[in-house]
């Protein structure tokens, strides 16, 4: 735990905050004054005040979302300034919490898992901002309550629900590379509440002009020897100037409808159904493309870095039902069932089909993946309150996954888990949360994890927090089965895939972790400060590794460690000016050889400034710094980007206006991380009706 125990910043901050806390005793609690929405459910799956939780939890409020001008969850999270997320590139939005991989973060909608892509990509781009009430983010292992996919944290997206007899809004957005519309409708009649969300987004590709240098077995086409290569020498050049997409062209439509009915004060039923349709297109440079020609041994000749194009046609149908029953005032029981069907059709072709010896573009078909994935999740939770200071929660989960794919075979399987948690206040200043979980994954591996933490109020407005948690994660489908080319022309292969120089398949062992975190939280009428240090140690960490010059795959790291700290300060300087500052430092190390774990920024920082010249007008700027990273191709340099925006609520009474410019200083983003447009503008208008 050297990364935070020996950090002078934390020691100095503790002394300063102790003095700040003593001045706040005569004031209103900062949590109540600065952030009124402090009751969260993500940390314990029960309603708890955020200050009583031992773990680090962030909340993106309804006002934050409404004033962000965002169209989807990825943009909302990026606008917060405190979370590192790649919002562009062919892999969609990918989030990193405390240096952990995207696969280590679990995404929920109203407490239910989001299912779709094998590697969980695209999902943050698919959830419209108009349907979101708030987002609760738990940082650090949450395996006790949420299972093997929550080693890095959990983001719970809570949808909007209104008590008005009728209401809603419609938002139109136009930007440099996108156009979208969002519709929300709410109606209440007696004991039944109805809701409807619909959205449509059209997004252009982000393209760079690049040189594709063709070769066969690392030999330029013009230098190939032998008659077997004569057709290629006659038809292909050594290099071509082509367009390469770093963000897909996309058309996305989404509709969701639901109702909630209260039979009486003890029994409530919630139903929801949604449908999503997505079309994506990307021009890329393939690492290896199969031609129709054969070598002297009768094997197809592969051309390296041949320009290609990929098309994705995806759709998803989901249905959910939740029944809440309170037979006693002290007892709450909730049963939920969630079904999703995800249809995926991926095809790749080459525009150089004639040069590759094919009779038509369709004949050059490559990387076909037509798949249907079905998830059925069932959850049962019971909570019993012995008193206001003593509550027990027990739960059980059963998740079934079935996938039928022409691209490759995925093992179907079942997740099963049981868990128990105890929330207890032995004395008024001290809140304890502890519990255990037993889980069995689809390959039959069982694991028991425990968690124990506490929050202690030193005085009004000042809390100390500590938490110990164990994590557990089985390899996901991407790590086992992916067969994809990244933006650098490198093959990304799952551990079980055998292609080219990868001549061996292996199974990945489940990874386990132990995390210790210590935190301090201080708040007053005009400020809120948080500082958390963490130290996570892994056995059999599942990580990307470089197998050859053209292949990256996944393997287990026997021992590894991620440690560091995160800090944030929210300050209302005056009634019309506020700021939020964040800084995080992370050290991710492979303990077997001392190397740095891939794709973990060394440091993250952000500055968010808000100025209110009028009560309903906000000028906002967000500047983010992302530190150096390492991946299979070497160092990824640090970069900084800044966004500015203007929000005008209540224009013509029922109209809200927003305008902004992303990457206003035209900074370049490392191409390994995708790309964002320079000085990309957008304008939006929302009409609110009742």
pLDDT of 676 reads: 64
Of 103-112, 294-303, 326-335, the range with the lowest mean pLDDT is 103-112
pLDDT digits (tens, 9 = 90+) for 342-389: 998 988 899 999 999 999 999 999 866 788 889 999 999 999 999 999
Structural domains in the chain (count):
1
Q: Is the pLDDT of residue 3 over 60?
A: no
On the 0-12 / 13-18 / 19+ scale of CB atoms within 10 A, 440 is middle
How far lies 328's CA from each of 325, 331, 333, 336, in Å?
9, 5, 10, 20
Mean pLDDT of 561-579: 94
Which of these ranges, 13-27, 78-92, 169-183, 557-571, has the smallest mean pLDDT? 13-27
Query: Which has more confidence, 39 or 31?
Result: 39
DSSP annotation of 25 = T
CATH code at position 602: 2.40.170.20
Nearest to 485 by CA among 631, 299, 309: 309
For residue 190, the tally of other CB atoms under 10 A from its CB is: 7
Distance CA 126, CA 78 (A): 15
pLDDT > 70: what percent of the chain?
88
Q: Where are the beta strands (DSSP E) in 295-365?
A: 300-328, 331-349
Q: Name 299's Cβ contacts closer than 8 Å, sequence gap at least 6.
A: none
Q: What is the mean pLDDT of the chain?
A: 84
Say whether pLDDT at 595 is over 70. no
Q: Could you tell me the residue range of the domain that residue 217 belongs to? A: 2-689
Give residue 486's pLDDT: 53
Q: What is the pLDDT of residues 386-400, one digit of tens each?
A: 999 999 999 999 999
pLDDT at 547 over 90: no
Q: What span, in angstroms and rounded, lies between the C-alpha atoms of 565 and 4?
A: 6
Please tell me the predicted confidence (pLDDT) of residue 410: 62
Q: Residue 13: which pLDDT band, with cuts at 50, 70 and 90?
A: very low
Looking from the CA of 365 toward its CB, the CA atoms found within 13 Å total 9
For residue range 499-537, list pLDDT tens digits in order.
777 888 888 888 889 999 999 999 999 999 999 999 999
* Helix then strand then coil, % of the chain, to nearest 5: 10, 60, 30
- pLDDT of 24 above 80: no
d(CA 380, CA 363): 50
User: What does 126-177 look like in DSSP terms, one character per residue?
Assistant: HSBGGGEEEEEEEES--HHHH-TT-SSEEEEEEEP---SSEEEEEEEEEESS
Pairing type for strands 249-262 and 267-294 reads antiparallel
* Position 638 pLDDT exceeds 50: yes
d(CA 452, CA 467): 6
**Concatenated DSSP letters of 552-572:** EEEEEEEEEEEEEEEEEEEEE
- Indicate if the pLDDT at residue 39 is higher than 90: no
In this predicted structure, the answer to whether residue 201 has a pLDDT above a threshold of 60 is yes
Helix (H) / strand (E) element for 540: namely: strand 527-546
Would the pTM count as exceeding 0.75? Answer: yes
How far CA 41 is from CA of 139, 508, 577, in Å, comes to: 14, 33, 30
Residue 642: pLDDT band by 50, 70, 90 thresholds? very high
Q: Is 300 helix (H, G, I), strand (E, B) or coil?
A: strand
């Amino acid at each position: 735990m050297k990364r935070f125990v020996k950090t002078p910043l934390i020691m100095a901050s503790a002394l300063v905050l102790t003095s700040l806390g003593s001045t706040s005793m005569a004031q209103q609690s900062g949590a109540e004054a600065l952030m009124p929405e402090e009751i969260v459910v993500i940390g314990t799956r029960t309603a708890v005040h955020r200050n009583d939780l031992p773990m680090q939890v962030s909340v993106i409020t309804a006002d934050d979302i409404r004033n962000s001008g965002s169209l989807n969850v990825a943009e909302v999270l990026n606008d917060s300034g405190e979370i590192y997320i790649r919002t562009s590139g062919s892999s969609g939005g990918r989030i990193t919490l405390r240096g952990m991989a995207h696969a280590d973060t679990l995404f929920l909608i109203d407490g239910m898992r989001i299912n779709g892509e094998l590697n969980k990509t695209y999902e943050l781009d698919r959830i419209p901002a108009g349907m979101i009430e708030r987002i609760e983010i738990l940082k650090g292992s949450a395996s006790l309550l949420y299972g093997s996919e929550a080693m890095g944290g959990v983001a719970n997206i809570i949808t909007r629900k209104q008590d008005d007899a009728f209401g809603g809004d419609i938002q139109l957005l136009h930007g440099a590379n996108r156009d979208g519309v969002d519709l929300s409708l709410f109606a209440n009649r007696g004991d039944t509440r109805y809701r409807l969300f619909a959205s449509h987004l059209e997004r252009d590709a982000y393209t760079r002009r690049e040189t594709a240098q063709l070769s066969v077995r690392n030999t330029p086409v013009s230098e190939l020897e032998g008659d077997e290569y004569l057709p290629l020498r006659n038809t292909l050049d050594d290099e071509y100037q082509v367009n390469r997409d770093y963000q897909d062209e996309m058309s996305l439509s989404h509709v969701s409808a639901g109702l909630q009915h209260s039979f009486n004060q003890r029994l409530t039923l919630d139903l929801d159904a949604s449908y999503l349709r997505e079309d994506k297109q990307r021009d890329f440079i393939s690492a290896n493309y199969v031609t129709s020609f054969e070598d002297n041994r009768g094997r197809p000749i592969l051309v390296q870095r041949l320009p290609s194009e990929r098309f994705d046609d995806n759709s998803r149908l989901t249905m959910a039902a939740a029944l809440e029953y309170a037979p006693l005032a002290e007892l709450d029981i909730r049963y939920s069932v969630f079904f999703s069907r995800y249809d995926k059709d991926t095809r790749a072709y080459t525009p150089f089909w004639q040069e590759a010896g094919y009779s038509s573009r369709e004949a050059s078909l490559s990387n076909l993946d037509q798949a249907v994935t079905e998830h059925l999740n069932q959850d049962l939770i019971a909570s019993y309150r012995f008193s206001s200071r003593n509550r027990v929660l027990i739960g059980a989960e059963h998740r079934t996954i079935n996938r039928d794919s022409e691209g490759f075979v995925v093992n179907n399987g079942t997740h099963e888990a049981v868990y128990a948690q105890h929330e207890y206040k032995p004395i008024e200043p001290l809140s304890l949360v502890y519990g255990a979980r037993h889980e069995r994954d689809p390959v039959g591996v069982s694991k028991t994890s425990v968690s124990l933490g506490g929050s202690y109020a030193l005085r009004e407005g000042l809390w100390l927090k500590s938490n110990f948690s164990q994590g557990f994660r089985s390899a996901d489908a991407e790590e086992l089965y992916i067969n994809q080319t990244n933006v650098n022309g490198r093959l990304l292969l799952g551990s079980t895939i055998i292609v080219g120089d990868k001549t061996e398949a292996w199974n990945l062992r489940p990874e386990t972790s132990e995390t210790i975190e210590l935190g301090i939280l201080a708040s007053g009428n005009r400020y809120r400060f948080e500082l958390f240090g963490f130290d996570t140690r892994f056995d059999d960490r599942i990580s990307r590794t470089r197998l050859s010059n053209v292949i990256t795959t996944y393997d287990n790291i026997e021992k590894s460690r991620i440690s560091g700290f995160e800090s944030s300060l929210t300050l209302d300087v005056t009634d019309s000016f506020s700021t939020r500052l964040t800084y995080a430092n992370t050290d991710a190390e492979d303990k077997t050889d001392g190397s740095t774990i891939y794709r973990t920024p060394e440091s993250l920082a952000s500055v968010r400034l808000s100025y209110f010249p009028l009560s309903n007008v906000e000028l906002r700027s967000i500047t983010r710094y992302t530190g150096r990273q390492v991946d299979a191709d070497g160092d990824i340099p640090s970069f900084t980007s800044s966004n500015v925006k203007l929000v005008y609520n209540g224009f013509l009474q029922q109209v809200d206006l927003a305008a902004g410019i992303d990457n206003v200083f035209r900074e370049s983003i490392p191409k390994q991380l995708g790309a964002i447009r320079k000085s990309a503008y957008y304008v939006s208008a929302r009409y609110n009706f009742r």
